[in-house]
A and B are shown apart, each in its own frame.
Chain A
């Protein structure tokens, strides 16, 4: 079990394959903080770690954990640099991430339509 978790969390882990089941939303995006990160990044070319923390009003640790999961899935890209000797982490949505978010939005809208048409 521990071995499986380690393999999943390693940088070289296989990219996340979104669910093709029409009944199920993409579980990776469905989580509240990750959905917030993806939405915020969809509205900007790039956002820093601090920007995302301020927008979502959550902790550094929370963002780090969820950002790593999105990065491993290939949904976001992380760039680390220095500005005036201060480390700076910047995130941007990848094309795969934008497609996944669009699929998720379609899924939510379809769900609402299906219930209203009953």
Chain B
């Protein structure tokens, strides 16, 4: 048997026919090219994900928020209540920044990378709006809706920034937004809603992020 006859015998056999077709058809070239483009797109998406979200930081922010909520509920006047929550906001911000730096350093990531900048740019505007609205609502004597406003706008900030981060982050944002809407409709539960959101939800999602995304 010569070499050519042998090749025909192999490639014409029914069990190998699909192989020879797969090798030579233009459709396989197209699918490989499409697969390469899909791989490039998925890699770019992964490279654009901000993964230095600090789970431990969220957990400690939750713990201090519960303490602040308990302390605030014992205040006789609104000014005392507001002062405690504003102090808690500064404490939580400090914890967040320190935890972010520690996680970025531990995982060898660039802290001010493009995904981190996008995360910060999406997060900052709703939080700034919450700050301005706090002053406006306080001056208008509508302090009862401040907790709902804080929770809803923080939820919007976390949802928006979460688009550039791990899936747990936007999910947490949805939770805050829902809680904020409830607090806006039932203002008498405002302080409790703040404890549930900034306290319990931060602890739960902090633990999830710590377990799934390395601290």
Contact = CB atoms under 8 A, between A and B. Distances in A.
Query: A and B, one complex?
Result: yes
Interface of A: 30, 32, 35-36, 39-51, 54-56, 83-84, 88, 90, 105, 108-109, 111-112, 114-116, 118
B26 A115 contact: yes
19 contacts: A35-B40, A43-B47, A43-B48, A44-B47, A47-B110, A47-B113, A48-B108, A51-B108, A51-B113, A54-B51, A54-B107, A55-B47, A88-B108, A105-B40, A108-B37, A109-B33, A111-B30, A112-B33, A115-B30
Contacts, number: 79
Interface residues of B, number: 24
Interface string B36-54: 1101100110111001000
Nearest to B107: A50
Nearest to A118: B26
B170 to A, nearest CB: 20
A40 B115 CA distance: 12
Contacts of A35: 36, 39-40, 43
B108 A44 contact: no
B114 A43 contact: yes
Interface string B11-31: 000000000000000110110
B121 interface: no
B29 A44 contact: no
B53 to A, nearest CB: 14
A51 B109 contact: yes
Contacts of A105: 37, 40
B44 A42 contact: yes
A109 to B, nearest CB: 7
A103 B35 CA distance: 17
B46 A55 contact: yes
A41 B36 CA distance: 16
Contacts of A84: 105
A44 B46 CA distance: 11
B44 A43 contact: yes
Given A43-B44, A45-B114, A116-B30, A108 B108 contact: no
Residue among B46, B47, B115 with most chain A CB within 10 A = B47
B51 A36 contact: no
B71 interface: no
Contacts of B33: 108-109, 111-112
Given A45-B114, A112-B30, A39 B40 contact: yes
B39 A32 contact: yes
B137 interface: no
B185 interface: no
Contacts of B10: none
A44 B109 CA distance: 12
B112 to A, nearest CB: 10
B133 interface: no
A105 B38 CA distance: 11
Nearest to B112: A45
B111 to A, nearest CB: 10
Contacts of A49: 108
A84 B109 CA distance: 13
